[in-house]
Structure 1
Amino acid sequence: MTAQIEPITGRYVSFDVAGKRCRVYFEEAGEGIPLVCLHTAGADNRQYRHMLCDPDITSQYRVLAFDMPWHGKSYPPEGWQDTEYRLTTELYVETILSFCRALDLEAPVLIGCSIGGRIVLQLANNHGAKFRALIGVESADYQQPWYDTSWLHRGDVHGGEVCAALVSGLVAPQSPALHRHETLWQYMQGGPGVFRGDLYFYRVDSDLRGKLNNIDTERCPLYLLTGEYDFSCSPADTLRTADAIPGAKVAIMPEVGHFPMSENPQQFRKYLMPVLEEIRDSAAVPPV
């Protein structure tokens, strides 16, 4: 038999976010410590398929990757047609915590990349007691915007192609062509205005400089992993952020860019696996 069936189960869960019912799609694989995965702006949970199919991870972790409302296979909330999508810090935090509550996840680990890496810092600062550990990939308290979001929702251009073009330079040159183009294809399929709505959070509503004084890495360990080829969240941005957080652990990853888990999964796992093993072996579990 030459067919290969991947060990991923996809399901929907419905729960309220900001007073609106959301039907959210998620995929999971494995058993053990819950590991919740947050995708990047304008993308979806397919970025984590390699982790979901990695038996070294799923033998110890229950990996759960969900599509944020408006993204991937998740629907916008009812009445979306009369609104403009705009992701705020408050909405982002509520969505994540609501997903964890809906699935009754006890002391999960959470990993987030890009905007997910930024919200990891907010969660560590204000909600660290709810998590066993937090992993920020391409994570920093602030990055200077380098893009023009007005191009991301116009009638005279193809939004998906513009999104993919915008992020294409963030993929490291060493990343395999197969994974590079899979990563860009996910961006080409985003809904109208969704990438721009996510970047409202990134550009406008999440400057965390000088606001992370409540992070307690003894209670909730914090790991920051950044690719050396990322000019959106540069290694310098991550190192600057970590310098202000006592106990934060940092790794700068050679030969990867802004999307390590999807653009070069084999290179990424060299840095992710030691983190997951350290979390697994730790006896410190936060109270429920």
Structure 2
Amino acid sequence: MAKLESIVGRYLTIEASGREYRIYFEEAGSGIPLLCLHTAGADSRQYRHLLNDPEVTRNFRVIAFDMPYHGRSNPPDQWWLDKYLLTTDQYLSVIRAVWKGLDLDRPVVMGCSMGGAIVLKVASEYQSELRGVVGLETSAYAPGRFNDFLHHPAIHGGELVASYTFGLNAPQSPESSARENWWYYSQSGPGVYRGDTYFYSVDWDGREVIKSIDTEKCKVSLLTGVYDYSATPEMTRDVAAAIPGSRLVIMEGMGHFPVIENYPVFRESLLPELQFMLD
């Protein structure tokens, strides 16, 4: 029997860091805006379970978008003239442009992995305009991920990145879900994952940034999987310790990709944090 989902996909043209981008986004639900950021080298398809969760969409307008170069969003004009290297300022500029372009009023911003890192910068810069941030697999400092083998003519970049990230799923996660995430990663454009890790592992150091976050203005929830060896529980504990009033959840049976690798288990940890954002 055919089944029609309630997710609606659209395109938004924005200007960020002096360049124009055609951005793809999906949304479902109504209420408080929940702006969702995908992981490095992937796209917003990772959030399909969240977008289809009626307990979430009852209170939240869930919006998930593809960063430039990712998924169904285009690179900017003349992209072939430069190597893609994402910086903190560029990343923040795109998020802000989508936020303002969709006219979101006091959103909650949720991101995973590199998205879980940049939400800390979002909170620091715009805390008075936010309801809160939810950081999934969050770290303030994660050197060592960036290397040139991620974009090398002798290596199949899609399969390399997909298989590396496959190992970041928890052993308990259903193989079908982990393979789904593998598929998304295998479709990444040449050098895109490498360019994302430039932000995540070279340009980004939020250890001083996070000290300015005031949880009386902007709520902070941090959720990390116990099996994550990329953004480890210890890394997230360090972030939580530096942000008084933040909430920390270490998720049993979960790896680096909670929104896609085992959503039924993940939502048990997420729903109380979303309720915290509502209160």
2:256 paired with 1:258:
yes
Q: Give the aligned partner of residue 186 of structure 1.
A: 184
Give the letter aligned to residue 278 of structure 1. Answer: F
Q: Give the aligned partner of residue 137 of structure 2.
A: 138
In 2, the alpha carbon distance for the partners of 1:110 and 1:211 equals 17
Equivalent residue runs for 1:1-288 within 5 Å: 2-145=1-144, 147=145, 149-280=147-278, 282=279
Alignment coverage as a number of residue pairs: 279
Are the equivalent residues in 1 in contact too, given 2:143–2:202 (CA < 8 A)?
A: no
1:29 deviates by 0.5
In 1, the alpha carbon distance for the partners of 2:220 and 2:56 equals 19
- CA distances 1:184-232 after superposition (whole Å, capped 9, x unpaired): 1110000000000000001111112233221000110000000000000
Percent identity for Structure 1 against Structure 2: 49
Give the letter aligned to residue 262 of structure 1. Answer: I
Give unpaired runs (5+ residues) of structure 2: none
1:143 deviates by 2.3
Give the letter aligned to residue 127 of structure 2. Answer: G
Judged with a 3 Å threshold, the aligned counterparts in structure 2 of structure 1 residues 18 and 29 are, in CA distance, closer, same or farther, namely: same
In 2, the alpha carbon distance for the partners of 1:255 and 1:10 equals 32
1:279 deviates by 1.3
Query: What TM-score results when the alignment is normalised by the length of structure 1?
Result: 0.95
SS of the equivalent of 1:232 reads coil
1:35 deviates by 0.4
In 1, the alpha carbon distance for the partners of 2:168 and 2:50 equals 21
Are the equivalent residues in 1 in contact too, given 2:36–2:62 (CA < 8 A)?
A: yes
- CA distances 1:95-129 after superposition (whole Å, capped 9, x unpaired): 00100000101111110000000001111122211
Are the equivalent residues in 1 in contact too, given 2:146–2:198 (CA < 8 A)?
A: no
Query: What TM-score results when the alignment is normalised by the length of structure 2?
Result: 0.98
SS of the equivalent of 2:265 reads helix
1:152 deviates by 1.2
1:182 deviates by 0.3
Give unpaired runs (5+ residues) of structure 1: 283-288
In 1, the alpha carbon distance for the partners of 2:119 and 2:100 equals 17
